[in-house]
Amino acid sequence: MHRFRGPVPYLVAGLLIHAFFLVALGTDLLRPLFNDASHTRRGFDFGVFYLAGQALAEGRDIYSVSGAFGFRYLPAFALIASLFAHFQPLTAYLLHLCCTEFFLLANLYLTWRWVEEPRRGLALFMWLAYSPYFLELYMGQVSFWAASLLFWLIVSLHSGRKWAAGFCWAGALLVKPNALILAPALLRLRAWRVLVLGLLACLLTSLPYFLLYPASLAAFFAANVHSAPIQGALTHAGNLGLQGGLVSVVAQLAGRPLAELTSLTDLPLAGRAVIYGSQAAILGAALVATWRSRDALPLLALWMCTFFLVYKDVWEHHYVFLQPVLVGLYAHSGSPKLLWIFAFIALPTPFTFFDIEPGVYGPIDPERTWGPVVSIVYRSTKLIPLGYLWYGLCRTCLAAAPTKS
């Protein structure tokens, strides 16, 4: 009977759900539950990486490739993508899935070693039963690669291995530049070695390329910082961030069709004030809370949550970035509240009830037919638990005495 105690039942349950995710990749079982899966083909985002890898191998500008929102990553990641470009597209996509599964396996092993009983079983389950991970596999994305490196960063800082933490943050930045959101936390922790390693890795691997293709630097910043690259893409049903939700509600209340929006300047002044004001308030509160604390885990978790509240483009698969946060916080505190937060974020949104032309591939945005209430309800299952977690982390950091960790 001992085999049914401890982490084994949770691990088995998680593996069964994970196996279902893998089987569903080859079917339409889960596609209707997600905007991106319902209206785009498997490997849609991976196709952009593949094209960028081909461009690099052929000596063309990686930021000139077309598809989705274009290539939005640092040049070093195109070098990794070029390895996949040596294979046929389907083979390359399957290899990408294998790589993602390898990261998952590494996270499970590290969690088993790092998290003590009785929390180990549920911590393992958190890695395996998480619907944004399915979408990550479906789209052929690499957010989970970066999220895994951030988990290794958390474990390394907890263990006092600053060099390892530095390499982990550098790797996360080179895969996904949005890992830069953790810089304020690392500054407060005075993790100079981590900061220097990460920023130097970005600079030394990117500068030669941007010198070779000067116009590509502007293209990189335009894709990641500026407004929508095409008309109608400022917000849509695939954008599950707070800013995307506010843009949608403001536009609908003001009678501005979503299909015509390109930048925030297309919205009324009062609406822009609400959006900019909310971003400033969130960033200000996060900075004040950061100033009070020197505890690595809450600080890193706070800023990872802040990303979802202030960044312009937050896709559903991006929520894999909360996995290392939730696993780390649960391992640290064991709070049942974290399990409720995990459950809400791990489950799909109610998108399937509001979709139009379900399962039809193409540039279909169901949100253009919605009203403000539907837009709010749709995003609430992710943003309410996320906002509650962010608020709790702010309180934790503000209550902390500014002592050395």
Split at pLDDT 50, 70, 90, the class of 65 is confident
Q: What percent of the chain has pLDDT over 90?
A: 85
- Residue 255 located in a structural domain: yes
239 φ, ψ (degrees, to nearest 5) = -95, 110
Nearest to 185 by CA among 87, 294, 102: 294
Residue 57 burial by Cβ neighbours in a 10 Å radius (0-12, 13-18, 19+): middle
pLDDT for 6 beyond 90: no
pLDDT for 403 beyond 60: no
The residues near 174 (Cβ < 8 Å, ≥ 6 apart) are 74, 76, 77, 201, 202, 205
Q: What is the pLDDT of residues 358-399, one digit of tens each?
A: 999 998 999 999 999 999 999 999 999 999 999 999 999 999
HSE, CB side, 13 Å, CA atoms: give it for residue 107: 28
Name residue 315's beta-bridge partners. Answer: 239
CA atoms of 126 and 267, how far apart (whole Å): 39
CA atoms of 153 and 148, how far apart (whole Å): 9
Split at pLDDT 50, 70, 90, the class of 226 is confident
Mean pLDDT over the full length of the chain:
93
- Residue 404 located in a structural domain: no
Residue 401, pLDDT score: 57
Three-class SS string for 75-91?
Answer: HHHHHHHHHHCCCCHHH
Q: Which two tokens stand for residue 98?
A: 């294998």
Residue 91 burial by Cβ neighbours in a 10 Å radius (0-12, 13-18, 19+): exposed
Q: What is the pLDDT of residues 29-41, one digit of tens each?
A: 999 999 999 999 9
Q: What is the pLDDT of residues 147-181, one digit of tens each?
A: 999 999 999 999 889 899 999 999 999 999 999 99
Count of domains forming the chain: 1
Q: Which two tokens stand for residue 378?
A: 């749709």
Q: What percent of the chain has pLDDT over 70?
A: 96
Q: What is the pLDDT of residues 77-128, one digit of tens each?
A: 999 999 999 999 999 999 999 999 999 999 999 999 999 999 999 999 999 9
Split at pLDDT 50, 70, 90, the class of 232 is confident
Residue 402, pLDDT score: 53
CA atoms of 32 and 267, how far apart (whole Å): 31
Residue 404, pLDDT score: 44
- Residue 382 located in a structural domain: yes
pLDDT for 4 beyond 60: no
pLDDT for 2 beyond 60: no
Residue 202, pLDDT score: 95
Split at pLDDT 50, 70, 90, the class of 3 is low
Greatest Cα pair distance, the chain, in angstroms, is 66
- Residue 405 located in a structural domain: no
- Provide the CA 372 distance to its chain's centre, in angstroms: 25
Name the CA dihedral angle for 217, 223, 224, 227, rounded to a multiple of 10 degrees.
130
Nearest to 44 by CA among 260, 317, 354: 317
- Residue 214 located in a structural domain: yes
The residues near 88 (Cβ < 8 Å, ≥ 6 apart) are none
pLDDT for 143 beyond 60: yes
Q: What is the mean pLDDT of residues 180-191?
A: 96
Q: H or E element: which one contains 343?
A: helix 336-346
pLDDT for 1 beyond 60: no
- Provide the CA 133 distance to its chain's centre, in angstroms: 10
Q: What is the mean pLDDT of residues 68-79?
A: 88
Domain membership of residue 262 as a residue range: 2-399
* Amino acid found at 341: I
Query: Do 75 and 209 form a contact (C-beta atoms < 8 A)?
Result: yes
- Provide the CA 126 distance to its chain's centre, in angstroms: 16
